[in-house]
């Protein structure tokens, strides 16, 4: 027997594991080998068929009265696939998928063929009962508020309900017949391994910390349960998975606890993906990190993500905005002071570095740190110690330092406004977040992500945008970056009373048409425009309901406390008293 045919015969054991039948034929169509699955499907033993002519045994039942092997050679096809029904020796009907592939030698001469066939009868039978015999069951599966999908023994998706479509963004037609790895990712994925183990062993499994890929390639958190599907004789014919979207629960917990994990950042732009790839390595190290990027790009969120996946995750993350505090208060806030350090210092007060001991300190707007404090910060970086204000004794701390800036620190160094030695100590690991207008492909992902997050913490019905509204959002340049996008969506959620956000629900500055780029210096006027629209809406609702705060809050889908706070903010309480 030719060596090449022997190699194909040795593959039979592998196919057996997948319940796929394999038969290898010689050039003259004699049967060389038949694996165990092929014996079960055909009803014949290999010992009875070895050396027999294939067409003498199977021409009618498996081949449909014609030799597919000879047809493939004649037509030059690499393989031919056919589906048909067959009745075996025990008069049982089987649904067979058969692939015939001629084997050619180096000189292109045919050496024989390998025939692969799989019996789908049991699984097809199960699905037919769902699809036809009991339409109520199919209807129930399709209307469950939990995602349901089924696969055959090979892991190919055979059923995909409406909720699964909603969770992933895939339609049935896009996934039916495809490998479930399209949803669960790489072969090393925990969920994919659990699903395969369930089908192989029959024992149900679950994963409360799973993930599934959406149509946009974004992983979302899920809770999944896996079980094997069996036919009436008890044989495993596939598997069933139920998936629950944990995005809203996760977003709610993030909002309440102020904690962030990898899922709080989304993006498929190459620059963002590169950051995602290096986050685990960066987080596990003790290197100082400098995050650069324009205002509103999410530098503080990135810092929180890194802290939360680092070994210091269970320790404090303390943020200091170097631009928000006056120079004369910044030193005492950062490094603390002792009793008697200055008038009014009646007791020792620890600074932010002491509060962050064991954890991470995040120095935002580091470019605004005064030169006098830069020298003190350098000592902390080098010696892990400093003098609190008014103290003669050093205080030791164990902190990791992350900093962020929207300025060019290299330029500040050249202008002698930032210490060069401090710059190099901070710049061990530099991460740069691009402006939103340079990652337009991420805007749909961010809109969906922000909408889900905001919906999780407020009573709102809106869950999608019209095409007109999306057109405006996708073509705007966002000088305020992600923060501005968040403000726009929040504005729309306040104005919108329906399930769908329309173009008219967007801020007035965007409604006139697809907005042109807004210069950075006009950001303040845009924010004022949002506030004006919100104030007008609240005032109109109050007048409509005769200043009844309960009815107004209900109409606006906010609670009374929020309404009262906004009334005070927009000075509407005095108007209310006069009515």
CA–CA gap between residue 103 and residue 25 (Å, rounded)? 9
**Which residue ranges does the chain devote to CATH 3.40.50.300?**
259-432
CA–CA gap between residue 80 and residue 102 (Å, rounded)? 9
333 to 31, 330, 496, 550: CA distances (angstroms): 85, 5, 43, 42
Spell out a b/e string for 25-49, using b for 16 or more CB atoms within 10 Å of the CB, else e.
Answer: bbbebbbbbbbbbbbebbebebeeb
Beta-bridged to residue 150, according to DSSP, are 159, 240
Own/partner pairs, 303-308, CB within 8 angstroms, 24+ separation: 303/360, 303/362, 303/402, 303/404, 304/259, 304/260, 304/264, 305/260, 305/261, 305/262, 305/264, 305/265, 305/279, 306/279, 306/282, 306/402, 307/283, 307/359, 307/360, 307/362, 307/402, 308/259, 308/260, 308/261
Task: Average the pLDDT over 288-301 and give the result.
Answer: 93
- Determine the straight-line distance between the first and last CA of the chain, rounded to whole angstroms: 101
pLDDT of residue 360: 95
Q: Confirm or reject CATH 3.30.450.20 for domain 3-119, answering yes or no.
A: yes
Q: Residue 536 — very low, low, confident or very high, per pLDDT cuts 50/70/90?
A: confident
Contact 555, 461 (CB under 8 A): no
62: Cα within 13 Å, side-chain hemisphere: 27
- What percentage of the chain exceeds 90 in pLDDT? 18
441-577 topology per CATH = Helicase, Ruva Protein; domain 3 (1.10.8)
CB atoms within 10 A of CB 118: 22
Spell out a b/e string for 511-526, using b for 16 or more CB atoms within 10 Å of the CB, else e.
Answer: eeeebeebeeeebeeb
Claim: this prediction has a pTM higher than 0.75 = no
pLDDT of residue 544: 81
Residues in the chain: 579
Contact 124, 18 (CB under 8 A): no
Tell how strand 500-501 and strand 157-160 pair up. Answer: unpaired
**Which residue ranges does the chain devote to CATH 3.30.450.20?**
3-119, 123-245
Using alpha carbons, select from 480, 404, 405, 485 the residue that is nearest to residue 442: 485
Beta-bridged to residue 245, according to DSSP, are 222
pLDDT of residue 577: 53
CA–CA gap between residue 418 and residue 59 (Å, rounded)? 86
CA–CA gap between residue 21 and residue 572 (Å, rounded)? 77
Q: Compute the chain's Rg from CA coordinates.
A: 33
pLDDT of residue 260 exceeding 50: no
Scan for tokens 């401090």, then name that residue.
422
Higher pLDDT, 250 or 430: 430
285 to 259, 263, 511: CA distances (angstroms): 20, 21, 47
Using alpha carbons, select from 318, 392, 391, 394 the residue that is nearest to residue 348: 391
pLDDT digits (tens, 9 = 90+) for 316-329: 999 999 888 887 78
List, in order, residues 6 or more apart from 255 with CB less than 8 Å away.
Answer: 453, 456, 457
pLDDT digits (tens, 9 = 90+) for 487-528: 999 999 888 888 889 988 998 888 764 444 444 444 444 556
Q: Residue 58 — very low, low, confident or very high, per pLDDT cuts 50/70/90?
A: confident
Q: Residue 208 — very low, low, confident or very high, per pLDDT cuts 50/70/90?
A: confident
pLDDT of residue 119: 65
- Token duo for residue 129: 């009962």
Task: Average the pLDDT over 299-326 and give the result.
Answer: 90
Phi/psi for 540 (5° steps) reads -65, -40
Q: Residue 429 — very low, low, confident or very high, per pLDDT cuts 50/70/90?
A: very high
pLDDT of residue 225 exceeding 60: yes
pLDDT digits (tens, 9 = 90+) for 172-182: 888 888 889 88
pLDDT of residue 285: 92
CA–CA gap between residue 11 and residue 21 (Å, rounded)? 11
pLDDT of residue 528: 62
- Token duo for residue 203: 């024992």
pLDDT of residue 280 exceeding 90: no
pLDDT digits (tens, 9 = 90+) for 322-361: 888 887 788 888 999 988 888 888 888 899 999 999 999 9
Question: Among 97-111, 133-147, 257-271, 540-554, which stretch is predicted with the lowest mean pLDDT?
Answer: 133-147
> Which contiguous run of DSSP H or E holds residue 491?
helix 481-495
CA–CA gap between residue 52 and residue 455 (Å, rounded)? 69
> Which contiguous run of DSSP H or E holds residue 100?
strand 93-104
Mean pLDDT score of the chain: 79
List, in order, residues 6 or more apart from 167 with CB less than 8 Å away.
Answer: 147, 212, 214, 220, 222, 243, 245
Higher pLDDT, 255 or 316: 316
Using alpha carbons, select from 395, 404, 478, 384 the residue that is nearest to residue 440: 478
CA–CA gap between residue 443 and residue 266 (Å, rounded)? 10
Scan for tokens 């939103």, then name that residue.
436
pLDDT of residue 136: 43
Q: Residue 123 — very low, low, confident or very high, per pLDDT cuts 50/70/90?
A: very low
- Mapped to the 3 state alphabet, what secondary structure does 253-321 carry? HHHHHCCCCHHHCCCCCHHHHHHHHHHHHHHHCCCCEEEECCCCCCHHHHHHHHHHCCCCCCCCEEEEE
Higher pLDDT, 134 or 485: 485
pLDDT digits (tens, 9 = 90+) for 90-121: 556 666 777 788 877 777 778 888 887 766 55
For domain 259-432, the CATH superfamily is P-loop containing nucleotide triphosphate hydrolases (3.40.50.300)
CA–CA gap between residue 144 and residue 262 (Å, rounded)? 29
pLDDT of residue 135: 46
Scan for tokens 């810092």, then name that residue.
303
- What percentage of the chain exceeds 70 in pLDDT? 79
Using alpha carbons, select from 424, 355, 421, 423 the residue that is nearest to residue 388: 355
CA–CA gap between residue 299 and residue 364 (Å, rounded)? 9
CA–CA gap between residue 55 and residue 30 (Å, rounded)? 9
pLDDT of residue 130 exceeding 50: no
Q: Confirm or reject CATH 3.40.50.1000 for domain 123-245, answering yes or no.
A: no
Helices 371-383 and 327-335 cross at an angle (nearest 10°) of 10
pLDDT of residue 356: 94
Task: Average the pLDDT over 359-380 and give the result.
Answer: 91
pLDDT of residue 48 exceeding 90: no
In sequence order, what DSSP letters do the residues of 133-179 get, joined into one string?
ITHHHHHHHHH-SSEEEEEETT-BEEEE-HHHHHHH---HHHHTTSB
Three-class SS state of 550: helix
**Which residue ranges does the chain devote to CATH 1.10.8.60?**
441-577
């Amino acid at each position: 027997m030719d060596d090449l045919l022997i190699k194909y015969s040795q593959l039979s054991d592998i196919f057996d594991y997948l319940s796929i039948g394999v038969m290898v034929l010689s050039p003259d169509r004699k049967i060389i080998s038949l694996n165990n699955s092929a014996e079960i499907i055909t009803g014949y033993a290999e010992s009875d068929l070895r050396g027999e002519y294939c067409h003498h045994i199977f021409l009618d039942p498996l081949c449909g009265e014609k030799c597919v092997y000879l047809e493939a050679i004649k037509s030059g096809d690499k393989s031919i696939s056919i589906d048909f029904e067959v009745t075996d020796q025990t008069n049982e009907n089987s649904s067979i998928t058969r692939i015939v592939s001629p084997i050619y030698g180096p000189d292109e001469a045919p050496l024989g063929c390998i025939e692969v066939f799989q019996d789908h009868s049991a699984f097809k039978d199960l699905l037919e009962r769902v699809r036809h015999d009991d339409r109520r069951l199919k209807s129930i599966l399709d209307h469950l508020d939990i995602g349901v999908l089924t696969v055959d023994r090979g892991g190919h998706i055979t059923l995909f309900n409406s909720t699964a479509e909603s969770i992933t963004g895939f339609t049935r037609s896009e996934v039916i017949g495809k490998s479930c790895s399209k949803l669960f990712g790489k072969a090393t994925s925990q969920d994919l391994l659990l699903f395969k183990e369930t089908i192989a062993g029959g024992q149900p499994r679950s994963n409360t910390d799973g993930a599934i890929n959406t149509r946009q390639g974004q992983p979302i958190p899920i809770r999944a349960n896996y079980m094997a599907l069996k036919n009436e004789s008890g044989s495993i014919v596939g598997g069933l998975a139920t998936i629950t979207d944990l995005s809203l629960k996760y977003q709610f917990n993030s909002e309440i606890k102020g904690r962030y994990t990898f899922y709080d950042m989304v993006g498929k732009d190459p620059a963002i993906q590169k950051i995602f790839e290096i986050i685990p390595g960066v987080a596990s190290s003790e290197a100082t990190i400098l995050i650069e990027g324009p205002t509103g790009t999410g530098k503080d969120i990135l810092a929180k993500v890194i802290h939360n996946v680092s070994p210091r995750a269970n320790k404090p993350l303390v943020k200091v905005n170097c631009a928000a505090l006056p120079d004369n208060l910044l030193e005492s806030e950062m490094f603390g002071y002792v009793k008697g350090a200055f008038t009014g210092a009646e007791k020792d007060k620890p600074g932010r570095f002491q509060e962050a001991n064991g954890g991470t300190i995040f120095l935002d707007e580091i470019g605004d740190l005064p030169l006098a404090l830069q020298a003190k910060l350098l000592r902390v970086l080098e010696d892990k110690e400093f003098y609190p204000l008014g103290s003669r004794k050093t205080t030791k701390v164990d902190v990791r330092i992350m900093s962020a800036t929207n300025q060019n620190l290299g330029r500040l160094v050249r202008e002698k406004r930032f210490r060069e030695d401090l710059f190099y100590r901070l710049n061990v690991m530099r991460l740069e977040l691009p402006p939103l207008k340079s990652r337009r492909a991420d805007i749909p992902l961010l809109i969906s992500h922000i909408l889900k997050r905001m919906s999780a913490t407020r009573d709102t019905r809106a869950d999608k945008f019209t095409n007109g509204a999306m057109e405006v959002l996708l073509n705007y340049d966002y000088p305020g970056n992600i923060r501005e996008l968040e403000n726009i969506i929040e504005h729309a959620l306040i104005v919108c009373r329906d399930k769908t956000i329309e173009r008219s629900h967007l801020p007035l500055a965007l409604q006139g048409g697809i907005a042109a780029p807004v210069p950075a210096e006009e950001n303040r006027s845009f924010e004022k425009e949002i506030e004006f629209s919100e104030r007008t809406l609240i005032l109109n609702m109050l007048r409509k309901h005769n200043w009844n705060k309960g009815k107004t809050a209900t109409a606006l889908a906010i609670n009374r406390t929020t309404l009262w706070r906004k009334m005070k903010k927009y000075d509407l309480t005095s108007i209310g008293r006069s009515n």
